[in-house]
Chains A and B, each alone.
Chain A
Amino acid sequence: MINFGYTASESRHIDMDERLHPAIEKMLHREPSLKECIACGRCAAVCTAGYFTGMQFYRLNLMAHRGLINEMKQAARACMLCGKCQMTCPKGVNIRHGVLLMSQITDVLDV
């Protein structure tokens, strides 16, 4: 591993080489733009649901990559699909579709 001159705690690593959960793989296949997220946090800053619940979309995406499917699904339920996040996202992530898939992941993407 290259030494960048700092350390990070193991438990917080997201190892991109590790195989993702099959349900998440399917979700990413159906909405590939989710892979583009750079976790800049804009979506969270404007989130309509976030005002009431602290919902932060990029965190759901991180949960997905960490395999925390149930937590992700639970958190997705607060979304109003308003699309504000999408309007501000610099990477053009189809967040509404992403959340829609996240909220039904175990069923439609049959895990």
Chain B
Amino acid sequence: MYHPFVLPFVVGFSVMGVVLVARYIYWLRGMSPGNRQRVLWGFFSRSTLLAVKEILQESLLHLKIFRVNPLLGFMHASLAFGWFMLIVGGKLETWYYTGNFFNPPYYAIFFRYFEPLTEGFWMNGVLLFYMELSLLIVLSGLSIAVVKRIRKKVVGMNNTTRHNPANRIALFFLWMVFPLRLMAESATVAVHGGGSFLTTVTSSLFLSHDWAVWLELPLWWAYSTGLGLFFLALPFSRYLHIPTEMVMLLLKKWGVQPEPGFNPEKGVQAFEVHSCPGCGVCLDVCPAMGAGINSFQSAYFVRQVRAGHNYETIADMCLNCGACKEACPVGISLESLRLDARSHLHRKANFDHRYLHGTMTLWRDTTEVVLYTGCMGRINPKTTQAVKSLLHEAGVKFIHLDEHESICCGRPMALAGAAEQAKMLIQRNRELIHGQNGQLLVTTCPICYRYFSSEYDLNIPVLHHSQFLWQLIETQKLNRHKGNLRYAYHDPCELGRGANCYDEPRNLLYTVGELVALSSERNKALCCGNNIGSLTLAEEQKQKITANTLTVLSENSPDYIVTACPMCKNTLSRQSTLPVRDLAEVMLECKEVNVAGSRTRKKQASVNVTP
């Protein structure tokens, strides 16, 4: 069975196959030896089966997008899964009809043209019905996609990705393909009869039999050409994500690790960068979007990285709040990608901290807690004081490590893409911490907390002060009564999404008062706008983001806005009409509203506090 109109499809499909295989082999070869080993080991393991399940769930059914936004999820799922159903159905149809499992791919795709009348046996009717149902599913997804381009609000999105020309061409052909298939099949049905519920209706569009005879072949040509051109454009457009996403899921399941350096055309990073479909889920969650800044979001960043140019300003501007990484349905490691890009950009940055001399550790008494308040703690003495008073009150023995001399934890350098050069800071801080002979390190800064836990390899555990204070409450070393003040809690990016600490701060606030619900909180919380993640955002832009975040925090008119990061606190309090407090300050202040019993305790405590 053959007709020249299949040629455009065959050519497009073959070119795509060759380009894809070549690119994948090149990327795989660029992987680190360790990762190549993992791929080899993983290949014949159970993880492959698990990955297949995930491919079904994420690449075809798009369950994650569905959870975020049902209509958008339906759009992606019906396009991808409907298409998948068509491919499977085509295979079954040709297999059933010819009795051979292997047939040329074009035979299945243009089956209706070659075999217009397959009636006679009930199985044919079922297959025909199934194929037309699949096509209808794809078309319904497609119509949502078209509407989404025109009116994005319909699918509940505030923003859709702006696309560049290569992507628009591919998009155009993708949109053309399925309506053309429907038209071509309808024409064939109009000429020869047959067809199921869909084409019997649409074939009546062709006013007469003559029209249909005249149009049938041109329509099949058009369908084949559209399909061929789409496949031709696929490896060079964002639709490369369709096959790459599946490979990516396999690689993830095989346990490949992020590779050092910035190599968007090599190894794991290449697979990650090319598996982004530009779905735009990262746009709506970005705190800058609400402030009208729509240039640097991850969808654009990844696209520019893929294009290999103009990603520089984008990489430096983002706040690194992590909201997009949390929401990304493909699970791209956006943060490390961005920081790798920054290190590449600022690879010539040259810092030297050898002026920090090593300290001699004299013998010290053991102490329970080593308190580290960090750089930001120093410009927030009230929080530091509050934590200290609370520790006194609970009778905890502690040493304030950086009361006089403080060395930055090094995370800000990492955020600027100079992680390599933070080594000296880490080394000196580690010496200092180990030298205190403490049992526990408590820090009031989420940025330090995250870096201490991930990069320091300390010999004692680390806690953020909110976690430690909650421990004190739980063990009843600190006692508080529930008051009637209402608090809105702002999740700091580095503590919430960064360190997965959402509950302890909330538990503390529940203990002393009421917590108001917010429209974006926990892992959807908005950034305060002035974290050190962004290198280049201008002051007015940051202020707009802060204002936007404050609107959310004030929505249920709380008495206080509470946070657990000195930087968030400073930033929010500059623009807030409501009072902004650190958790520790709230815990200290609310002794005032306590019942008589605890007042006496407070008096005793305050005696202890005075040095």
Q: Which residues of A contact B (CB under 8 A)?
A: 30-33, 46, 48-49, 51-53, 73, 76-84, 86-88, 91-92, 94, 96-97, 100, 103-104, 107-108
Are B353 and A80 in touch, CB under 8 angstroms?
Answer: yes
CB nearest to A86 among chain B residues:
B532
Size bracket, chain B contacts: 35 or more
The 8 Å CB contact of A77, one of B352, B378, B425, B532, is B352
CB nearest to B404 among chain A residues:
A51
Residues of A within 8 A of B351 (CB): 76-81, 103
Given A48-B407, A81-B416, A97-B316, A87:B348 Cβ within 8 A = no
Q: Is the interface of A mostly helix, strand, loop or mixed?
A: helix
In angstroms, Cα B263 to Cα A46, docked, is 38
Within 8 A of A (CB), among B575-606: none
Given A78-B352, A92-B538, A97-B535, A48:B408 Cβ within 8 A = yes
Residues of A within 8 A of B415 (CB): 81
User: Nearest-CB distance from A35 to chain B (Å)?
Assistant: 12
The 8 Å CB contact of A80, one of B412, B535, B536, B537, is B412
The 8 Å CB contact of A33, one of B412, B416, B532, B538, is B538
Residues of B within 8 A of A32 (CB): 538
In angstroms, Cα B416 to Cα A83, docked, is 11
Residues of B within 8 A of A96 (CB): 412, 416, 532, 535
Within 8 A of A (CB), among B342-380: 346, 348-353, 355-356, 375-376, 378-379
Residues of B within 8 A of A77 (CB): 350-352
Contact flags B462-474 to A (C-beta < 8 A → 1, else 0): 0000000000000
CB nearest to A52 among chain B residues:
B355
User: Nearest-CB distance from B500 to chain A (Å)?
Assistant: 24
In angstroms, Cα B407 to Cα A96, docked, is 16
Residues of B within 8 A of A79 (CB): 351
Are B353 and A78 in touch, CB under 8 angstroms?
Answer: yes
In angstroms, Cα B530 to Cα A27, docked, is 22
Q: Does B413 contact A (CB under 8 A)?
A: yes
In angstroms, Cα B413 to Cα A52, docked, is 18
In angstroms, Cα B264 to Cα A26, docked, is 27
In angstroms, Cα B355 to Cα A73, docked, is 16
Contact flags B566-579 to A (C-beta < 8 A → 1, else 0): 01001100000000
In angstroms, Cα B349 to Cα A104, docked, is 5
Residues of B within 8 A of A87 (CB): 376, 379, 530, 567, 570-571
Q: Is the interface of B mostly helix, strand, loop or mixed?
A: loop
Are B350 and A81 in touch, CB under 8 angstroms?
Answer: no
User: What 4 A-B pairs have minimum CB-CB distances, sorted nearest first?
Assistant: A92-B539, A107-B348, A80-B408, A104-B348
Are B375 and A84 in touch, CB under 8 angstroms?
Answer: yes
Residues of B within 8 A of A103 (CB): 349-351
Residues of B within 8 A of A81 (CB): 351, 408, 412-413, 415-416, 418, 532
In angstroms, Cα B346 to Cα A97, docked, is 10
Residues of A within 8 A of B349 (CB): 100, 103-104
Residues of B within 8 A of A83 (CB): 375-376, 412, 532, 567
In angstroms, Cα B535 to Cα A53, docked, is 24
Are A100 and B346 in touch, CB under 8 angstroms?
Answer: yes
Are B378 and A84 in touch, CB under 8 angstroms?
Answer: yes
In angstroms, Cα B348 to Cα A73, docked, is 12
Residues of B within 8 A of A84 (CB): 375-376, 378-379
* Extra 8 A-B pairs, beta carbons < 8 Å, given A82-B375, A97-B416: A30-B536, A51-B405, A80-B351, A83-B532, A87-B570, A87-B571, A92-B540, A94-B536
In angstroms, Cα B538 to Cα A91, docked, is 11
CB nearest to A30 among chain B residues:
B536
A-B contact pairs, 12 of them (CB 8 A): A46-B379, A52-B355, A82-B375, A83-B376, A84-B379, A87-B530, A92-B539, A92-B542, A96-B416, A104-B346, A107-B348, A108-B346
CB nearest to A97 among chain B residues:
B535
Q: Does B208 contact A (CB under 8 A)?
A: no
Are B407 and A104 in touch, CB under 8 angstroms?
Answer: no
Contact flags B370-411 to A (C-beta < 8 A → 1, else 0): 000001101100000000000000000000000001111010
User: Nearest-CB distance from A29 to chain B (Å)?
Assistant: 12
User: Nearest-CB distance from B446 to chain A (Å)?
Assistant: 14
Residues of B within 8 A of A108 (CB): 346, 348
Contact flags B405-436 to A (C-beta < 8 A → 1, else 0): 11110101101101000000100000000000
In angstroms, Cα B346 to Cα A107, docked, is 10
In angstroms, Cα B542 to Cα A91, docked, is 13
